A and B are shown apart, each in its own frame.
Chain A
Amino acid sequence: MIWAQLLTTVVMFGSVYAVLTLALNLQYARGGMINFGMVAYFAAGAYAYAIVTQAPPEGLDQYLFGFAAPWWAGFLAAGLASLAFAVLTGWPTLRLRGEYLALTTFAFAEVFHSVLLNERRIGNGSVGLSNVERPDVAWTGLDDTIVYAVAALTMMLATAYVFNRILASPYGRVLDAIREDELAAQTVGKKITRIRFEVFLISAIPVGFAGALYAMITTLVSPTLYTAEVTFTVWIALVLGGERTIVGAVLGTMALIFIQESLRVYPFETVRAAQIAASAEEILTGAIFIVMLRWQPFEKLMKKGRPS
């Protein structure tokens, strides 16, 4: 029973995170852009969903807006919010290269986090928004968790399908060309900054949707859920799965979430023991990361399998 529960949790959170990993795969492994602020687009989606669907403020609420709209309106708003944030952050930064882009996206994410934390009029500041609206799924006759796991899985597969279509198209080949040799691509008339900007926007939309779904699952939206740790988790998942393949990105995320969740299943007697387990999880995650980057085993496997 505990294994069935673990499996559902892994599929549910793994799929949500895998959408982020897929977006990162498109941006970094295919587009050569280092985005260290993935969490901001995720948070933008989650907050947009919560704000559009929640009831107008009353009593102790400090937030200003609540539109009590149906869930699908919130869901669409989440994609739009993430897209809008990508326009806002991508437009000025995408001419920066490599590490500067990494630092600026990181900076944008930290500023966004700080605003959410301090500005009570958006989402009650550090308290966050609780009892976030979730669509009624009783009609399926199934457990809520299973329905949401299936929904997350569907969203991930849809994202993977769309991204795969993009990458397999001539557009995808232009992207590869830009990553491999920017100058050569430019010489044959490809508008590099524009194409990178487009990829940045395309990849942000599903991240916003994933944010909305995550808000439905947790029914809570608060700044503590959207820290730089989310960004790093997604990076670790991408590295774990081996770069540049959609299957790799998905498997890497699932494996990472599985490791993390199975360490959490074990019941701890004392606070101290739980704390040490949390630290062990952190150390293990970091160590896997370092080892994967150093030896890149999946990269080698792929090269072997591919006729040269």
Chain B
Amino acid sequence: MASGGTMTLFAQFLVAGVATGCFLILATIGFSLTRRVEGFLNIAHAQLIGVSAFTTWAVNVLLGWHILAAAAIGIVFTALVGLAIGRLVYEPIRHHGPAVMLISSVGVTYVIGGIVDAAVGTGIRTFDIPLATSYEFFGVRITDYQAMVMALAALSGVSMALFLNKTKIGLAVRAMAANPELAASRGIDVRRTSMATWLLASGLAGLAGVMLGVVATLSTDIAFRQILQVLAVAILAGLGSLYSVILSGLIVGIAMDVSVLWIPAGYRPLIAFALVIVVLLFRPEGLAGRKSS
């Protein structure tokens, strides 16, 4: 039954696409949060994914620590690096406007990329973890690590939603995103809120970096390849809310992986950008439909 085989294959790529999408959600939530609160596109966000992946790798493989301890160190370290960059580099140039901040983040990308290159060197790295176990449901295979990425993305999504809606600092973050001047005049501690944003956004990049190391092999150019996809998801989401990021992450992930059925795999990243171009041409405000501020 040929059509049954095609359906299974399609379902297989769909599952892979959802897993890719979940990773992209983890990688983009922080980027999108920075865009909303700090008001600019932080190209260097993806470099933090690399920082986390290689810190975790160093602690896990070179020092021989357990992966969970290594991941915790990687994530915390990345959050602190992100905070430090936010305070030292971006805060002083805020008055130059978002264009200068965007261009500066390219400089930050170079600096972090160079440091990672110098420290890690060339070659392929992998974490010291057991090989993935694969489970089969109705002929469709899924590995335990893919399932973990999906679970973590879901968990991060839910906790972000709770954080932004239920906690005081979360509400402050949303207020800052909506109208910084008004937020400041209503007594919101702008500095503290901004610091919380940097920690949170960078920590999420850290989590994404660990996940990347779990499901894939690491090389130092990995961060740059991620930024392309993160940008695609973020634009598709209209640089907007958490929910639109989740939706666009899944769309981009599924579109990229399912496209492999018809289009050579080399074009996989191109699918993400073709989507972006189409969306920007017809809906410059993104899928979410809200006019971006």
Tell whether, in the assembled complex, residue B92 and residue A294 are in contact, meaning their CB atoms are under 8 Å apart. Answer: yes
Residue of B nearest to A103 (CB): B235
CB distance from B230 to the nearest CB of A (A): 11
Residue of A nearest to B109 (CB): A286
B276 at interface by CB-CB < 8 Å = yes
In the bound assembly, the distance between CA atoms of A112 and B51 in angstroms comes to 29
B41 interface neighbour in A92, A95, A103, Cβ under 8 Å = A103
Q: Which B residues from 60 to 102 make CB contacts under 8 A with A?
A: 89, 92-93, 96, 98-100, 102
B264 at interface by CB-CB < 8 Å = yes
B162 at interface by CB-CB < 8 Å = no
In the bound assembly, the distance between CA atoms of A84 and B133 in angstroms comes to 51
Partner-binding segment picked from A155-163, A183-191, A270-278 = A270-278
CB distance from B28 to the nearest CB of A (A): 13
Known A-B contacts A117-B266, A283-B111; A276 and B104 likewise in contact (beta carbons under 8 Å): no
Interface size, A (range):
35 or more
| Chain B interface, >50% SS class | helix
In the bound assembly, the distance between CA atoms of A285 and B274 in angstroms comes to 31
A294 interface neighbour in B104, B106, B115, Cβ under 8 Å = B104
Residue of B nearest to A283 (CB): B114
Contacts of B232 in A (CB 8 A): 107
CB distance from A68 to the nearest CB of B (A): 29
In the bound assembly, the distance between CA atoms of A236 and B110 in angstroms comes to 11
In the bound assembly, the distance between CA atoms of A84 and B117 in angstroms comes to 38
A232 interface neighbour in B92, B102, B110, Cβ under 8 Å = B110
Residue of B nearest to A278 (CB): B117
In the bound assembly, the distance between CA atoms of A114 and B112 in angstroms comes to 25
Q: Which B residues from 122 to 137 make CB contacts under 8 A with A?
A: 122
A239 at interface by CB-CB < 8 Å = yes
B107 at interface by CB-CB < 8 Å = yes
Residue of B nearest to A108 (CB): B277
Which B residues have a C-beta under 8 Å from some C-beta of A? 40-41, 89, 92-93, 96, 98-100, 102-104, 106-115, 117-118, 121-122, 224, 228, 231-232, 235, 264, 266-267, 269-270, 273-274, 276-277, 280-281, 284
Q: Known pairs A93-B281, A290-B104; list 4 more (Cβ under 8 Å).
A: A100-B280, A236-B107, A279-B117, A293-B93
Which A residues have a C-beta under 8 Å from some C-beta of B? 34, 92-93, 95-96, 98-100, 102-104, 106-108, 110-111, 114-115, 117-118, 228, 232, 235-236, 239, 272, 275-276, 278-290, 293-294
A selection of 15 A-B contacts at a CB cut-off of 8 Å is A34-B103, A96-B284, A103-B280, A107-B277, A110-B269, A110-B273, A114-B267, A114-B273, A235-B103, A275-B117, A276-B118, A279-B115, A282-B113, A285-B114, A287-B107
